[in-house]
Structure 1
Amino acid sequence: MPILDGLEFTQASLRVRYRASLDPQIVTLSVTTQGVASFPYAQLILRKLLTSINAGSAGGSRFPPTAGAAIVVDESPELHGPNYLWRVRLAAVDPLFLRTMVEELRYAGAGHAVTSMEISGSLPLDDTALSVREDDVKRWLDNPGAYLEEWPNPGFPIVERGRWAMFRLQLDAQITGELRRKLDLVALGWLDAVSSYLWATGEYEAGNIDRCMPRCGSSKDEFSAAYRDFYFSPVPARARLVNALSRFHHTVAPIALATISP
Structure 2
Amino acid sequence: MWGIVLFLCFVAASRQISITEFSVPNSTKSGEDVRLTCKYELTSGESDKALFVKWWWTPFTNDERKQLYQRIAGHPAVAIHNDIKIEENDAILLLNVTPEDSGTYECEVSNIDEARKHSDLIVYTMGSGPVLNISLVEDGPDEDDKEDVLVTCSALDVAPYPDLVIVLNGQTLNTSESVYLRSPPDGSTYNITSTGVVSKDQADGAEISCELYYKDVNVTHSPFIVTETYYVNQSELTTTEDAEDAFRTEDPSYRLNNTKLTFRVPYLLLLIEV
Q: Tell whether the structures are fold-level matches, with TM greater than 0.5.
A: no
Structure number having the greater strand percentage: 2
Structure number having the greater helix percentage: 1
Q: Which has the higher contact order (CA 8 A, sep 6+)?
A: 1
* Structure showing greater Rg: 2
TM-score (norm 1): 0.24
